[in-house]
Structures are given as structure tokens and as C-alpha cells.
A and B are shown apart, each in its own frame.
Chain A
Amino acid sequence: MLALAALVTGFSLQSCSKSNPTDNPDPEPETEKIFAVGGLVLDPDGSYLFQHSTLSEGEISFLGKGANVTTQDPGFLAFMTKDGFYYSYKSGENTLSKYSYVNQKLQLVKVIPFVLADANRYNHQWIDQNNLLIYGYKGAYKIVNVENMTVVKEGKFDIPTKAGLTGPLIGFAELKDNKLHVGYWYGDEKYPDAIAKGKTNYATGTAYFAVFDYPAMNNPVYSEDNRSTSPGNDRNGVLKTFTYNDDLYIMTSPFEMISQNWDKPHGIYRIKKGTSVVDPTYFLNISEKLNGDPVLGGGYAGNGKLLVRRIRMDLALTWQSYGFGNVQEFHVVDMATGSLTKLDLPLVKGQPTAPNILANGGKVYFPVNTKKDNTGDIHIYSYDGAAGKMVKGIKVNDLDAVNGLFKVK
């Protein structure tokens, strides 16, 4: 009996010495925070969010700090941020939640029913300060006024289906000049095998575009191009389009993790201002300049400078190595000349499908995870488009990966 009592008491004391679930540390000082770093700890995966006033300097640790957001946003593919709030759509639960970051915790502001057909994958676009467009990868969309959390418009993009093919599968929707530009592709389980031995294709070899009048969402103009496929991508928050010289530029993503077409290069399409079709005279073939490798994720830094993440396929031999092997490089594309410049960094690792590259205020912030064996660390670097300069920024400790970078306010 005594032994049992000692056992229970001992363990209780031990449990008390750890942080008790009901304990609340002192609230953090309320300073202006505008960025958030999303961190991942592996297996079982935990997702954590750390709000900070700058990404350019200093050091942060996630040990005992930051908000655990594992249940709000596993993997950081859900968060959409604006004016200090986080919005999270969960297709499996049919909910859209609005959170604020209070005392290192996400506090629910409001949750509303939000049903979007076939929207296991989805993307978002801020229509204006208050209205958020969320669209599923099969074309259903809703626009929600986030101030009062009400759905103000809903429907489905008027895009044709094709017999025998899966789709259309939406890669981006971008509002520009009162036009909603939509890019899409089709999947074909019987599509001919890739030229490369042992590789199979799923995405057909054509990129499709539709441009609608907004807000009427009518008068669609369709166009297509077969120099690449899969315009945009189906991962929320990962670079799809950018505007340069007032023209809309569109990244393509035939990469295995997105649409899977080994025969088509990764590159950039253009829809010129004032037109509603893809520009047949322009396609920047990035893969061609990078030994055929894919690029996924990046950010436009302004001044015609685009940062992209290259995956070294000669080093990435397994699916696991895409996210956890040191197989990535960062390059800057000069949009004026089409040339690429490799940034002076060692090989890094990072989840290429995660929204962890952030363009803000003429800079692109990106995580540089050089961990290997017992060396390396994680820093957030930034590339300044105007200065054409890369700067080493904040050091992020005690994480397996930075899977999200957000501008919150």
C-alpha cells in the first residue's frame, strides 16, 4: 500500500513539476506584431505559430512559446491572414474559422458553416480589404465578407468538363482589372507515359485559361497553350501568379507533387494587360535553364525580380527527400532578361508545397534550413528586389521545418 502511495505521489509530483495543463504564464507584452512564422515538429506532427515584429533580425525559439495550432491548421495549408486575423477553412468539417492571436494562442472569433464542393484542396484570393475568395480545386467558389463572416457570393466557375478526363482542376484565380483570371488543367489516368523511363504522366500536356468579367462572373474567354501545363498549383498560399509591368504572369507546376507531367517544363506564362488570352509570344522556360528541374514556390520581390525555389532532381531520389533532403536552391529570375541567378546559399531543405515564402514590401522572405547531421540551422533570409541583395535574417530555433510565413498585419 505504501509502495503504491509512494508511486502515485511520486508521479503526481513529477507531473506537477512539468507544465500543468491549466497553468497560464504571464501574458506577453502586446507589441505590434506583423509577421508570423509557422513551425513544424515532426511525428506526430505539431504545427506552431510565432508572431513577431520582424523577420529580418534576432532569434526565436518555439520551445514553450508561440501558439500550438495543430488542430486549427495542420501543415499550414489552411491559413489566410489579414489585418491581424487568421482564417482557416476546413473542407472535412465544412467550417471557416476566424481567429485572433491572443496571449500566444489562437482565439476563435467566429466560425461559420462553409461548404465548398470538392474542395479538399483549395486556394484563396483577397478581393479587397474585406472580401475573401476561396475556391476549390474543382471550381466551386465562395466570397466571404470577413468583417461579419457572411458569404456574399457563391457559385462555380463556368469551365467546361472534358469527357474521360478528370477536371477541370483549378490552379489559380486572380482578380485583376475587373477580370477574374482562372487557370486550370485536366487529369488523365490513361495519359501516355513520360519520355523519361519509368515515369508516368497524369496531367494532360496543356495549360488552360479562362477570363471572366468580375463581379458578374460571365463572358468567359477561354485559351490554352501546350508549352507547359498545370498553371498555378493546388496548394493554398504557394506562389501562383504575380504582376510585372502591369501584366499577369503565371507560374506552372507540372511537378510530381502537384499535377505530374514529366514531359512539360516549369515556366512562366503571361496574360498581357488588356487581353483575356494567354500570350502566345511569351513563355519563360525555367526548367530549361536549370537542367530540367522543377521550381515550386517563390515570391515576386518587385523591380522585375522573382525568387524561385529549385528542386535538384539529381539529388532528390525519393519522395521523402523533396521535403527533408538538402536538395533545394534559390534562384532569382530577372524578368526583363529571363536570366537566372543562383543565390549564394548551401543546399537547403523545406517542404516545397508549403506556403513558406512570403513577398512583402519589395522583399521576399524565405526559410533557409541547412540542417544536416549535427550542423546547420534555420534562418529566414530576405531578398530585396530593388537592391538586388540577399540578407540573412531571423534565426529560428527548435523546429524541424518552417512551413509557413505569413504577413498578419
Chain B
Amino acid sequence: MKIFLAQQPSTFLLRIISCTLLCIMLLPLPALAQQRSLLEKNLTIDFASIKISQALQQIEQQINCSFVYSNQLLDADRKVTKRYRNEKLERLLTDLFAGKKIKLKQDGKQVFIGLQSERKQRVYGRITSSEGPLAGVSVRFGQQSTTTDQHGRYELSALAEREYLLRLSSVGYKTISQTVFLKESSPLVVNLTLQSNAQQLQQVDVDAKTASQLVRETGFNVAALELSKYNNSTRDVNQILNTTTGVRIREYGGLGSDFNFSLNGLSGKAIRFFIDGIPMENFGIGMNFNNIPVNLADRLEVYKGVVPIELGSDALGGGINMVTNKGAKNYLDASYSIGSFNTHRLSLNTQSVNDTTGLMFKLTGFYNYSDNDYWMHSNPKYDAAIRVPDGPNSFIEKSVKRFHDQYKSGMIQAEAGYINQTWADALVLGMLYNNHYKEFQTGNNQNIVYGKVNRHGNYFMPSLRYKKDNLFIEGLNATAFVSYAVDKYSVVDTSTTTYWWDGSASSSNNDFGELNRSKNRSYTNYQNTFLLTRVNLSYRINEGNQLTLNHNYNKSDQKSDEELSQKILSPAGQSKSVTGLSWQNKSLQQRLNTSVFAKFFHFGIELGAVTEGKNPMPAQHRSYNNFGYGLASRYSMGDNMGVKFSYEHAYRLPELVEVLGDGVNVIPNPDIKPESSHNFNINADLSRKHDRHFYSADIGGFLGNAKDFIYTIPMGNNTSQFLNEGKVIVYGAEAEVQYKYAKLVELTLNASYQRSKQNQKYTYGTETPRANYGNMIPNQPWLYGNLYLSVGKSDWLGRGTRLQFDWSSQYYHSFYLTWEAWGSSQSLNIIPTQLLHHAGMTYSLKDGRYNISFECRNLGNELAYDNFRLQKPGRSFNLKLRYFLH
């Protein structure tokens, strides 16, 4: 009864969230329709040398509305003479306020006229002639102007997003005048070649770099993924990351399943995850990259081996940062998808900014539900049989549906605050709530079947973030973040029954639970609290030099109790702080971009006294202080080519789960130590644009020498433990090539190779030499690749429409569960080679406002395994409806 009552509030809450999300998604449709009807009304009206304010009054009378605006801000006393014939109100107003970037918003009969926020952006580039760089060229963007330096370089900053007339002039050369558009989201690079007066202009190259491109041009080995092209996909963040070079995500099942993330040969917690720079571990056990819909993110940054200090964490093997910020603009992105295995996914991402007051409100959320009742097929070829009893003394092998793998999770986050104020670029208060319920179908392999084990919990996090550029002095930028989170969850293992794959009971009236046949049934409650503070200060000394200081402090505490035995388990806590300082330098005419950094790590852990049980322990305290450092550098050879080198002596501090276990399958290990690694990367990139063709290629290699490597190993039939496995060397290479033709075709092909070598000579804690010293560590994917092809046509089925077909293939080479060199080859356990294909079709209307997409994953219905004896879902179909207004 206790269990039932405990689940009811969370279930109820999930329903509330889902209904709210659904209502929020549906509500804007009629409201927006009404809004469009007023702004889209046609007018015929003349204004003869009257003030704009008077003109607006005339319009009010004609269409029965009222305008709200600031006279001063919009300069409405300015006189105009205009003549409009059957003109839409929206266009009329835009024209009336020509020269100002207005923003229109309707509420009933009222129309608010405001100014769009003008985030400042910069334009830079290089002017050359056929004989080399041109110095002293006059470069004018609208009202701003400058001249090129001795290397032909120029830069103009503090420019607002709009269209500009670019004018270049220099004695002896043809003057160039051209219209260019500057977006707030990224700086504009304009490289031009001037022709002498005797020649004709031959080349004008205008290229706006995306944020992802700018990230790639740093010295870090980073893959930056723009997610806009995936927004109509039903994929979650993990599934997109899984197609990136160097990344291999091994999932244990379907939606919401646990997973192991490996990046350039390192895996587990050596890889850190962030949302907007905030470490994911602060978001609780219920929120992961495998349940976050792609629509909530703007881009993903995958840092391999070397991680900038801005992410403020102890990432040994790399970090993934999900950037959600879509700029200071209004938008609404809502979607619903339905798919196989009774899967339903809702997502919402909307933001409203009042340009006049600077007040912003952002609401994001998602709800996932799946029965995950996919078919499990017997596969004796790879020793992965599915057996159900056939009488008392025999089994038969057959296909069965998973019967206890339901997953549901919901998240809602509201943020409110001010942006673009004199005292703050952003001051935002946020509240995040998530709730999850997850059933467990198997232990660490599918031969261990669970029928009742589940985990459920909820999480609440208030937060405050602050951002200010040019704080106190020019060039000093500051950001700060503070959050406090409470994560409560329960692991329920109260069944007196164990189960076969067909759902029938294998034993009943047991004292023990399903998770461990030697432990009594249990209902364990956990309460984790997380305090996180983050401060980042950067100071731009001059054009070529910048200093950045970042400090993260994280304190987490865990309490737990077991209800059936009324035991209160030992409380525990840990504190972790990472302080980083970096110096970024641009030299050699900005060709060499270097970042040198140092990080100081402090880790403290408190374990309460264990007074009961077989192995009582006194209260314990452990702390570690470590100092890491590194360098990331990129040398640009021309505008289309660069080479990179990066190095970091990285540390990774243990996490609570590694020290204390997860209460389900992970056994505590209070003696665990931080792991450290020397990571090296070398990369080269090349890109070329010719007419509407775009080609790019990236190739890189890495080497990591990890010590006290934390490694999870099975401990018994269905449990595992994290251990300091000693020394491991990881190395590998990756390559990616891409071809695009305008917006019609995109083809990406990549391959990754990575190996991990056992480099520990002696058995941990002894002087006994290990037999496998120098061997490749088994049970790790080492060769895989991806293909992505999209073909899309805009305006084919009508103006503003787009039809796009996507195809992706993933190849994973087979690998061994155990040491390859030991035992006869025919007796080795294999995770087989797999080639999986996915396909989808998307139809968009009204320039992407309405989207409908249909996807099929695992088209060939392959028996897919990321792990030995853990079959993944077969073929699935998904339909997604998305509404996107911006």
C-alpha cells in the first residue's frame, strides 16, 4: 500500500505536466490566428506631411484598434508623407518606421510597437589585391568606418543586426559597394579582393560564420553540431551525438534506458555533460541526454580530450555542452510525436522578450512516455537466447515482448528576468522540475529478468543567472550562476516473486528481492541535494589577448533510508571545486589562436559511520587536491585550412555514485581515487566553397595516458563496482568528410577508430604482475562510422514549403566481451558487427512553421546490441508534428 501511495502523486504530477504542455502547445494556435488577422488586414490610406503619431491615430480609426508605443523611442513626432494601397498593416507599420527595427505584437485589439533588441555584433575580414594584403583601404559599414592595417585586416564592432551597405575604396582600385546582412547570432566575415582600376572585380566572398564554426576554429578538438537540421526529427540528443566522430553511446535498451557514453576511448564518468555550461550531475538522476528532445537545444559542443575552463569541470576524457540559448528573440517551438512501443513525446520551448522593458520569460519542457515493449528475439548465434519454461524441466526459445520496461519522464522549466539592461545583460531566475518513473526489465544482461523493480523520483531546482559585459570597465565580462537542487528518488525492489521472460513467475514468496538473490527485499529512498555556484570573469586586454577566470563550486549530500527494514543508511556528502584560469592569445596576424590554461581541483568526501551490518566503519573524510593544465592552439593556413594541437593534464574526481553506489546495480567503493590523464590531440581541417558547392574534411588523432582510470567491472551476477583500474592508454584517429550543394543535398561520412590498452603492470595494491599488461581492454567498441544523407527541396510544393528526405546509416564493428588473446577464438563472446539504417521524410509549410515528419529507425529490423546480451529495440516508426514560430 505504501508503494502505491508513493507513486500516486508523481503519476498525477506527470499527468498535469503533460496536460499543461499539451494545452500550451495547442493554445497559441487560435490566438496567433487572431493576431495574424489584425496585422494582416489590408489598408488603403494616405498621410500628407503628418506626424507618425497622427498617422497611427488614423489607422486606429480605420481598423478599430489601438497602438501602444513609446513616442520618444520610436521618434513618433517625425513627419511623414506616405501613400498606401491595399497594404497589409504589418508592412505598412514597418515602412512607416523605416530606419528603425520595430517589433509588432498584438493583444486583442491592442497592437504593441516596440524596438527589437539590438545585440551588438562585429564584422571583420581581410582585403587583398592580386599582389597581396592591402593596407589603408577605407571600409565603411553604414555609418561606421575604419581602414585596413598593414596585413589588410580590419574589424568593426558594436554593429546591430540589419542590412548594411558595404563600401570599400582605395586609391588606384575599383570601389566596391555591396549590400550585406549582419545577423546577431554570429559575426560576419567579409574577405574581399580589390581590383586595380584597370581590372574588373573578380571575387567577392561574403561569409557569415555560425557559432558552431567559430567554436571549431578554436584550438580545441571540438565537434560543434548545429541542431536546427534535426529539429523535425524524433531523435533525442544522444542519438544525434552517436553519429559524431569519436562518440559511441551504448544503450541498455529503449527510451530512458541507462547508457554508457564513450568519447575518444574514454567512457563512463570520464566524460562530463553540461547544459549551458552547468554540469549535468546537478540535474539529478532523472534527466539525461537520452530523454531530452532535440528541440530544446540550439547546438551541441563535443570537446574531445581537452576541455576549456569555461565548462568548469573535471572532465578527464572530454565534455559535451548542450547550448539551449537561441538568442534574445521571441519564438515558440512545440512538438508532439507518437511512435512504436506506445511512445509519446511532447516538447515545448518558447520565449518571449519585451524589448521595451527588457522583461523576458522562457518556458521549456518535455514529457516522454514509452512502454518500451519491443520484441526480444532469441539469438543463440551470439549466445543471447531468450528462454521461457516449457514444462518443469525444459525451456523453449521464443520471441517475447518486454513486459516491464515502462518509462515516463517530464520536465518543466520556467525562467523569468530582465535582459539588455544597463545593470545587466541578463538577470534570470529559473525554476526547474522533473519527474521520472522507470521500470527495469533486466539486470546487466538479458538472462536476468526483472518483473517489478522500478525507480521513481522527482527533482526541483531553483536557479539564478547573471550576465554583464563590460562590467565596471571596458572589456570585463562576467557571468554568474547559482542553483540549489533537491533530487528525491526511490528504488523499489519489493517483489516476492521473480519472473521468466514470458512474465510468468519463476519463484514466489521470496524474502529476497529481484536485484540480488542474497539481499532482502527493499524500498530504498534517496535524497540528494546539490549546491552549485559558478562565476566566470573574462577580461579582454587588447585585440589579441584575453584572460578568463572560472570557478565552480559544487556540494552534494546524500541521505537514504530503507523502509522495509526501517534502516537509515549512512549519510554522505562530497564537495568539489574547480578553479580555472586561461589566457587566450591571437598572434601571427591572428593566424595563431592559442589558449593556455590551468585548473585547480579540490575534492572532499564525507562518509557517515556505518554502525550496522557485517562490516561497520567509522565516519570517514577524504580529500584530494590536484592541479591540471593544458594548451589548445590552432594555426590557420589561409581561410580554409587549419591545424590544431591540444594537450591537457586532466583530472576527474569521483562522483557520488562511484563512491556510494546507486542502490541498484552499483556497489559502493569508498576507497576510490581521482583519475588523471595526459591527453593529446592533433587535427587538421579543410573546407572549400565553390559556387553552391561546399566541401570539408576533418582528420585527427588522439592519445591519452590515464592513471587510476576508473572502470566499472561486474561484481557478481547483476551488480558492478567502480574501481581504480590503474593505467590505461587510449589512442585513435577519426575522420569526417562532408559535401553540400546549396540547400539541396548534404552528405556526411565519418569514421572513428579507438583503442584502449591495459597499461597497469601490477595488480592493484600488490606487486603481482598482471597477465594482460599491454593488451587491448575488451568490451569496448573500437571501429565505427556513420553516413548521413539528406536531399531536400524548398518551394517545390508551393511557396514556403520544403520536402526533405533523410537517410542515416551507422556501422559498428564487432568487438569482444573478454580479453581477445585468451581462450580459443571460437569460445570468445562477441558483440556482433552491426549496420543500422534509419530514414525519415519531413514536409514543412510556411517557411518551417508547420512541420510533419515520419521516421523509421532500424529500418532493417536488425538485432542490435550495444552490450553483450542486451538487445536494443528493433524497427520503429515515429510521426512527429512540430509548430515553430519565430
To the question of whether A and B form a pair in one complex, the answer is yes
A residues at B contact (CB < 8 Å): 1, 3-4, 7-8, 11-12, 15, 18-21, 23-25, 39, 41-46, 48, 62-71, 74, 90-95, 103-106, 110-113, 115, 117-121, 148-151, 189, 200, 202, 260, 318, 320-321, 324-326, 349, 371-374, 398-400
Q: Are B737 and A4 in contact (CB under 8 A)?
A: yes
Interface residues of B in 485-514 (CB under 8 A from A): 498, 500, 506-507, 510-512
B448 at the interface (CB under 8 A from A): yes
Q: Are B763 and A42 in contact (CB under 8 A)?
A: yes
Q: Are B395 and A63 in contact (CB under 8 A)?
A: no
Q: In the complex, which residue of chain A has the Cβ closest to the Cβ of B869? A: A71
Interface residues of B in 721-771 (CB under 8 A from A): 723, 725-726, 733, 735-737, 749-751, 753, 758, 763-771
Q: Are A24 and B825 also in contact (CB < 8 A) when A121-B518, A200-B616 are?
A: yes
> How many angstroms from the CA of A70 to the CA of B817 in the assembled complex?
9
Q: Which of B500, B714, B825 is in CB contact (< 8 Å) with A21?
A: B825
* A68 proximity list for chain B (CB < 8 A): 818, 822-824, 827-829
B116 at the interface (CB under 8 A from A): no
> How many angstroms from the CA of A95 to the CA of B397 in the assembled complex?
14
Q: Are A43 and B723 in contact (CB under 8 A)?
A: yes
> How many angstroms from the CA of A69 to the CA of B823 in the assembled complex?
9
* A150 proximity list for chain B (CB < 8 A): 392-393
B115 at the interface (CB under 8 A from A): no
Dominant secondary structure at the A interface:
loop
Between-chain CB contacts (< 8 Å), 19 pairs:
A12-B783, A21-B832, A24-B826, A41-B771, A43-B772, A62-B823, A66-B827, A67-B827, A71-B817, A74-B714, A92-B443, A92-B517, A93-B447, A104-B827, A113-B389, A117-B510, A120-B516, A260-B614, A400-B772
B820 at the interface (CB under 8 A from A): yes
Q: Are B818 and A46 in contact (CB under 8 A)?
A: yes
Given contacts A92-B443, A398-B771, A398-B822, 10 further A-B contacts (CB under 8 A): A7-B699, A42-B763, A44-B713, A44-B818, A66-B824, A70-B829, A95-B395, A105-B826, A112-B393, A113-B392
- Per-position binary interface string of chain B over residues 857-886, scored 1 when its CB falls under 8 Å from any chain A CB and 0 otherwise: 000000000001100000000000000000
Q: Are B511 and A118 in contact (CB under 8 A)?
A: yes
* A260 proximity list for chain B (CB < 8 A): 614
B819 at the interface (CB under 8 A from A): yes
* A92 proximity list for chain B (CB < 8 A): 443, 447-448, 517, 717-718
* A7 proximity list for chain B (CB < 8 A): 699, 733, 735, 751, 753
Q: Which of A48, A91, A324 is in CB contact (< 8 Å) with B717?
A: A91
Q: In the complex, which residue of chain B has the Cβ closest to the Cβ of A349? A: B768
B697 at the interface (CB under 8 A from A): yes
Q: Are B612 and A45 in contact (CB under 8 A)?
A: no
Q: In the complex, which residue of chain B has the Cβ closest to the Cβ of A20? A: B825
Q: Are A41 and B819 in contact (CB under 8 A)?
A: yes
Q: Which of B750, B816, B823, B830 is in CB contact (< 8 Å) with A48?
A: B823
Best-surrounded residue of B448, B717, B750, B825 (most CB of chain A within 10 A): B825
- Per-position binary interface string of chain B over residues 374-418, scored 1 when its CB falls under 8 Å from any chain A CB and 0 otherwise: 000000000100010100111100000000000000000000000
* A119 proximity list for chain B (CB < 8 A): 517
Q: Are A63 and B821 also in contact (CB < 8 A) when A93-B717, A321-B766 are?
A: yes
B785 at the interface (CB under 8 A from A): yes
Q: Are B826 and A104 in contact (CB under 8 A)?
A: yes
Measured between C-beta atoms, what is the minimum distance from A263 to chain B in Å?
15
Q: Are B816 and A21 in contact (CB under 8 A)?
A: yes
B628 at the interface (CB under 8 A from A): no
Q: Are A8 and B751 in contact (CB under 8 A)?
A: yes
Dominant secondary structure at the B interface:
loop
Q: Are B506 and A103 in contact (CB under 8 A)?
A: no
B196 at the interface (CB under 8 A from A): no
Q: Which of A21, A189, A324 is in CB contact (< 8 Å) with B614?
A: A189
> How many angstroms from the CA of A400 to the CA of B768 in the assembled complex?
8
Interface residues of B in 434-487 (CB under 8 A from A): 443, 445, 447-448
B9 at the interface (CB under 8 A from A): no
Measured between C-beta atoms, what is the minimum distance from A364 to chain B in Å?
24
Q: Are A46 and B768 in contact (CB under 8 A)?
A: no
> How many angstroms from the CA of A1 to the CA of B688 in the assembled complex?
14
A-B contact count (CB 8 A): 220
B585 at the interface (CB under 8 A from A): no
Measured between C-beta atoms, what is the minimum distance from A119 to chain B in Å?
7
Closest 4 CB pairs of A and B: A120-B518, A68-B823, A92-B717, A104-B824
Q: Are A3 and B766 also in contact (CB < 8 A) when A41-B819, A121-B518 are?
A: no
Measured between C-beta atoms, what is the minimum distance from B767 to chain A in Å?
5
Measured between C-beta atoms, what is the minimum distance from A74 to chain B in Å?
7
> How many angstroms from the CA of A117 to the CA of B510 in the assembled complex?
7
Measured between C-beta atoms, what is the minimum distance from B500 to chain A in Å?
8
Q: Which of B443, B733, B827 is in CB contact (< 8 Å) with A105?
A: B827
Q: In the complex, which residue of chain A has the Cβ closest to the Cβ of B833? A: A21
Measured between C-beta atoms, what is the minimum distance from A397 to chain B in Å?
9
* A11 proximity list for chain B (CB < 8 A): 751, 753, 783
> How many angstroms from the CA of A124 to the CA of B785 in the assembled complex?
49
Q: Are B825 and A25 in contact (CB under 8 A)?
A: yes
Q: Which of B445, B697, B816 is in CB contact (< 8 Å) with A3?
A: B697
> How many angstroms from the CA of A141 to the CA of B22 in the assembled complex?
56
Q: Are B822 and A202 in contact (CB under 8 A)?
A: no
> How many angstroms from the CA of A142 to the CA of B423 in the assembled complex?
78
* B769 proximity list for chain A (CB < 8 A): 371, 373-374
Measured between C-beta atoms, what is the minimum distance from B774 to chain A in Å?
12
- Per-position binary interface string of chain B over residues 797-827, scored 1 when its CB falls under 8 Å from any chain A CB and 0 otherwise: 0000000000000000110111111111111
Q: Are A45 and B824 in contact (CB under 8 A)?
A: no
* A120 proximity list for chain B (CB < 8 A): 512, 516-518
> How many angstroms from the CA of A12 to the CA of B868 in the assembled complex?
22
> How many angstroms from the CA of A326 to the CA of B500 in the assembled complex?
44
Q: Are A118 and B713 in contact (CB under 8 A)?
A: no
> How many angstroms from the CA of A104 to the CA of B822 in the assembled complex?
12
- Per-position binary interface string of chain B over residues 690-731, scored 1 when its CB falls under 8 Å from any chain A CB and 0 otherwise: 000000010100000000000101100110000101100000
* B733 proximity list for chain A (CB < 8 A): 7
B613 at the interface (CB under 8 A from A): yes
> How many angstroms from the CA of A62 to the CA of B697 in the assembled complex?
44
Q: Which of A1, A25, A44, A94 is in CB contact (< 8 Å) with B779?
A: A44
